[in-house]
Amino acid sequence: MKKVRVRFAPSPTGPLHIGGVRTALYNYLFARKMGGTFILRIEDTDRTRYVEGAEEYIMNALKWCGLEVDEGVEKGGDYGPYRQSDRKPMYAQYAEQLVKNGHAYYAYDTPEEINQMRENLKTPEDPNPKYNYASRGKMKNTLSLSESDIKALDDKGTPRIIRLKVEPNEEIIFNDIVRGEVKFSSNELDDKVLLKTDGMPTYHMANIVDDHFMEISHVIRGEEWLPSTPTHVLLYRYLGWEDTMPQFCHLPLILKPDGKGKLSKRYGAKVGIPVFPLDWMDKKEDALFMGFREQGFLPQATVNFLVFLGWNPGDTEQEIFGMQELIDAFDLKRVNKSGARFDIQKAKWFNQQYIMQTDAAELAALVRPYVEKHGHQPTDEYLAKVCDLMRERFETLNEFWDNSRYFFEEVTEYDNEKIIRKKWKPENREKMHDLKSIINRLRNFTPENIEEHVKKFMEENELGAGQVFPFLRLAVTGTTKGASIFDVMSVLDEEEVAKRLERGFEDFDKIKNA
Ligand code: GLU
C-alpha cells in the first residue's frame, strides 16, 4: 500500500472558513492515525483573488488548533516548493504534453467571444452552455481552425490558453471513500482551461501535477470539489498517471443551524456567531469577521466541536476527545454523507466542558487578558482562586468578565432593587450591622467557618434566610445570582467583605427611603 501522504490545499483568497479548518483537521487526524505525512500546500495560482495576509492567517489558524504541519511553506520538505506560484515553471510542460497527445488544445477566444457563444446557444433547458464537444467546433481553437489561420494568430502573438479536450459520451467512474462509486457523464463537463494566457496553470492543472509529484495518497476535501473530480480523473488518465491516482474522499457540507443552505460568512455576521477560527479584518469590506479564538473558545474545544461536524466515533457515548484520542478513534469510513448542521450552542457546551477540565492556574492565564482589558492586574494566585470558583458559570472566556467582575471591582449597582424595597427592614438594620462585625472579626475566613457563624447568628437573632442572604449577596456582588456567597466572601477576604457590607447597607437604606 502507498505511504499515506495527505495535503490541505487552501487558496489564500481570504480568511480560512471554519469548514476549511475541519478539512485540515480530518487530513491531520488521518495522517497521524496512519503514521503518514500532513502537508500544507498553498494554491495561489489565481492571482486575481489573492488576498494579502490570508496565507499567514491560514498558518496561524492551523497552529492555534494544534494541527502541526509536517511539510509545507514554512516547514519545507523534500517535495517543495509548497506554494504553487513558486512552482509556476513546472506546469506548462504537462499542459503541452496533453496538447501533443491530442488530449488538449489551444484556444484563442476572447471573453467576449465566449459570452457571445453562450448567448447564441442558450436554451431554457441549458441557460449556461458549456465550452465543450458540442460548441468547440464553432469557436477559435486548434481543433476548429485551419493551420494557416492558427499560424496567422500565432504570428500576431494572439494570447492563447490550453483547454482539456473532453470526449463526449464517456462514463467517468471513480470511488469515493465517503460516497462509494460516483459516476459522471463526460457530456456534463466543460473543456476546462488548464493553462492561462500568462502561462499560469489553473487550479485543475496545478492541483493534479502537484498531487502527483507530491505523491499524495488521499485527497480529502470539501464536497464542493466533487464536480471537479471527473475532470481530475481524466487528467490523471491522459497524463498516464492513473495507476498512482490518489483516493478521493469528499467531506459533507457544513450547513446553517436550520439545515437550509451552507454556513456562510454572511450568515455568521448576520446572527453574530463566529464562522472563522480567528478574527479577520476584511479591508475591502471594512468589516471585522469574528473568530472562535477571540470569542473565547479554547482551541481544544473548537477542535472537539469541529470533528463532530461530519464524523462520529461509532458505538460510544463519548463526546469529549483529546487530540490523541481523536487520532486513535478517527476513521474516514465513519465520515457522513449528509451535511452537518453548525450549532453554536454545541460549541459552547464543548467549551464549557474544557473550561471545567482545565487546571485553575492555566485557566487564570487564559482569562487574564479579559481582566487586564478592564484595567486590573490581579495576582496569579487570586485569579486562579476566582477561576476555580467560577468555572461552572461561563461557557466562553469572554463571559468570564461579565460574571466575575465583582471580584476585581467595587459594586456600584444592584441588579435587584425590587427586593431591597420590599424586604430590607430598617428594624433589622442594627442586627445586620452586628452580623457584619462578626464576619469582619472571623479569624478563619473559610467558606465553612463563615457559613457556620452567619447561620448561628441568624438563629440567635431570629433572622430568616430571606432577610439576610439576598442582602449579603447584593452588597458583596451586586447580584442575587451566582456562586455560593460564602465561597465568594472567602475569596474576597474579610476586610473587603466588611467594606462592601457597610457600603451596601447604606445604599439599601437610601434605596428603601427614596
Ligand atoms: N485550492 C482548493 C481550495 O481552495 C483545494 C481543493 C482541493 O483540495 O483539491 O479548497
Give the residue, 101 or 512, on which the prediction is more confident.
Answer: 101
> What are the distances in angstroms from CA 133 to CA 147, 162, 189, 400?
20, 15, 9, 62
pLDDT on residue 47: 87
Instruction: Return the C-alpha cell found at 97.
Output: 504534453
**Top CATH class, 358-405:** mainly alpha
Atom of ligand 1 nearest to the CA of 7: 8
> Residue 464: helix, strand or coil by DSSP?
coil
> Residue 37: helix, strand or coil by DSSP?
strand
CA of 507 to the centre of ligand 1 (A): 63
Quote the radius of gyration of the chain (alpha carbons, Å). 32
CA of 175 to the centre of ligand 1 (A): 19
Atom of ligand 1 nearest to the CA of 228: 9
pLDDT on residue 367: 95
- Kindly indicate the confidence band of residue 482, based on its pLDDT and cuts at 50, 70 and 90: confident
CA of 220 to the centre of ligand 1 (A): 9
Model confidence pLDDT, tens digit, residues 254-313 = 999 999 999 999 899 889 999 999 999 999 889 999 999 999 999 999 999 999 999 999
pLDDT on residue 41: 98
Residue 221 in contact with ligand 1 by CB distance below 6 A: yes
Supply the mean pLDDT for the chain: 95
Residue 397: partners with Cβ closer than 8 Å, 6 or more residues away: 296, 297, 298, 355, 366, 367, 370
pLDDT on residue 427: 86
pLDDT tops 90 at residue 513: no
> 10 Å Cβ neighbour count for 345?
10
Instruction: Return the C-alpha cell found at 76.
Output: 519545507
The widest CA-to-CA distance across the chain, in whole angstroms, is 113
Residue nearest to atom 2 of ligand 1 (CA): 10
Residue 10 in contact with ligand 1 by CB distance below 6 A: yes
Q: Of 340, 384, 389, which is closest to residue 360 (Cα–Cα)?
A: 384
- Determine the length of the chain: 514
pLDDT on residue 472: 96
Instruction: Return the C-alpha cell found at 453.
Output: 457563624
Q: What is the CATH number of domain 417-513?
A: 1.10.10.350
pLDDT tops 90 at residue 514: no
pLDDT on residue 428: 87
CA of 226 to the centre of ligand 1 (A): 11
pLDDT tops 80 at residue 1: no
| Catalytic member of 196, 265, 431, 436 | 265
Query: What is the dihedral angle through the alpha carbons of 414, 420, 425, 428, rounded to the nearest 10 degrees?
Result: -30
Atom of ligand 1 nearest to the CA of 207: 9
Q: What is the average per-residue pLDDT within 107-135?
A: 94
Q: What is the average per-residue pLDDT within 509-514?
A: 89
Residue nearest to atom 10 of ligand 1 (CA): 10
The position carrying cell 450568515 is 267
Atom of ligand 1 nearest to the CA of 211: 9
CA of 78 to the centre of ligand 1 (A): 21
pLDDT on residue 25: 98
CA of 196 to the centre of ligand 1 (A): 18
- From 7, 25, 43, give the residue whose CB has the most ligand 1 atoms within 8 Å, as the site to mutate: 43
CA of 9 to the centre of ligand 1 (A): 5
- Kindly indicate the confidence band of residue 43, based on its pLDDT and cuts at 50, 70 and 90: very high
Q: What is the average per-residue pLDDT within 415-419?
A: 91
Atom of ligand 1 nearest to the CA of 10: 4
- From 23, 45, 58, 207, give the residue whose CB has the most ligand 1 atoms within 8 Å, as the site to mutate: 207
Please give the single-letter amino acid code of residue 15. Answer: P
pLDDT tops 90 at residue 443: no
Residue 324 CA to residue 241 CA, distance in Å, equals 35
pLDDT on residue 187: 96
- From 211, 212, 225, give the residue whose CB has the most ligand 1 atoms within 8 Å, as the site to mutate: 225
> Residue 119: helix, strand or coil by DSSP?
helix
Decide if 141 contacts 108 (C-beta within 8 A).
yes
Task: Based on the residue annotation, tell me whether 100 is a catalytic residue of this protein.
Answer: no
pLDDT on residue 433: 93
Atom of ligand 1 nearest to the CA of 11: 4
Residue nearest to atom 5 of ligand 1 (CA): 9
Q: What is the average per-residue pLDDT within 141-159?
A: 97
Q: Residues of the chain with pLDDT > 70: what percent? A: 100
Q: What is the CATH number of domain 87-203?
A: 3.90.800.10
Instruction: Return the C-alpha cell found at 11.
Output: 487558496
Beta strands (DSSP E) in 102-253 are 104-107, 161-164, 171-176, 180-185, 193-195, 218-222, 247-251
In the chain, where the domains are located: 87-203, 358-405, 417-513
Residue 207 in contact with ligand 1 by CB distance below 6 A: yes
Residue 10 CA to residue 20 CA, distance in Å, equals 8
Residue 43 in contact with ligand 1 by CB distance below 6 A: yes
pTM of the model: 0.92
pLDDT on residue 250: 98
Model confidence pLDDT, tens digit, residues 19-37 = 999 999 999 999 999 999 9
Residue 38 CA to residue 72 CA, distance in Å, equals 9
Residue 448 CA to residue 462 CA, distance in Å, equals 21
Q: What is the average per-residue pLDDT within 155-181?
A: 97
pLDDT on residue 379: 97
**Do 358-405 and 417-513 agree at the fold level?**
no
Q: Vertex 399, ends 393 and 405: CA angle to 5°?
A: 85
Decide if 299 contacts 306 (C-beta within 8 A).
no
Residue 468 CA to residue 474 CA, distance in Å, equals 10
Q: Of 354, 388, 402, 415, which is closest to residue 484 (Cα–Cα)?
A: 388
Residue 9 in contact with ligand 1 by CB distance below 6 A: yes
> 10 Å Cβ neighbour count for 324?
9
Residue 292: partners with Cβ closer than 8 Å, 6 or more residues away: 18, 274, 276, 277, 278, 302, 347
pLDDT on residue 426: 84
